Amino acid sequence: MDTYSVIPIRFTLNGDKVSIEAGAHETALTVIRERLSLKGTKEGCGMGECGACTILVDGKSVNACLMAAPQLEGRTVMTVEGLGREGKLHPLQEAFLEHHGVQCGFCTPGLLMSAQSLILETPRPTHKQVVEAISGNLCRCTGYQQIVDAIQYGADKTGGEE
């Protein structure tokens, strides 16, 4: 199969079944942002260093810019659009607002997804666990303390809610 083959992919995205054809050379980020128009997942570095593109794949945080689109086959994916519900923010999102964890907001979707991955595994994370969980997410604005506080507060509010 050559590098530019088109491959049918079926996966679950934010609770909906998705069926799409993607090039073997495409990334999950391209499919999600450009092909499926979910712009909440950001493209920063494009090389696995900033965390802006973080999504959940089967509940684990993944850099979508490093994941080949065909690897989405059969997986359950959540982007930031799947975190809240219509008209209701997820407790983590509320916590980011309440604790001033958002300034320009570019890093926020990725941070939320890293935080959600952590909380799914560890509903009451320690400060150290939060810091480790977001160590791959760069923020140029906040200094991180508000973000860490927001995640711990959001974890208390969710108790592991999906």
Query: What does the binding site for ligand FES look like in residue numbers (CB under 6 A)?
Result: 43-46, 48-53, 63, 65, 102-107, 139-142
Instruction: Give the residue with the Cβ less far from ligand FES, 112 or 139.
Output: 139
Phi, psi of 62 (to 5 degrees): -140, 140
Q: Contact, 115 vs 130, CB < 8 A?
A: yes
* Least distance between ligand FES and beta carbon 109 (Å): 10
Q: Residue 41 Cβ, how far from ligand FES at the closest point, in Å? A: 9
Shortest separation between residue 67's beta carbon and ligand FES, angstroms:
9
CA distance 27 to 38: 14
CA-angle at 142, arms to 116 and 77, nearest 5°: 25
Q: Which one, 10 or 140, has the nearer CB to ligand FES?
A: 140
Do residues 80 and 41 make contact, with C-beta atoms less than 8 angstroms apart? yes
Nearer to ligand FES, 19 or 37 (CB): 37
Of 9 and 139, the one with the shorter C-beta distance to ligand FES is 139
Instruction: Classify residue 23 as exposed, middle or buried by CB count within 10 Å of its CB (0-12, 13-18, 19+).
Output: middle
The residue type found at 56 is: L
Dist. CA 55–CA 58, nearest whole Å: 10
Work out how close the CB of 113 gets to ligand FES at its nearest, in angstroms, rounded to a whole number: 11
Here the tokens at position 113 are 């997804």
Q: Residue 8 or residue 48: which is nearer to ligand FES going by CB?
A: 48
Q: How far is the CB of 144 from ligand FES (least distance, A)?
A: 9
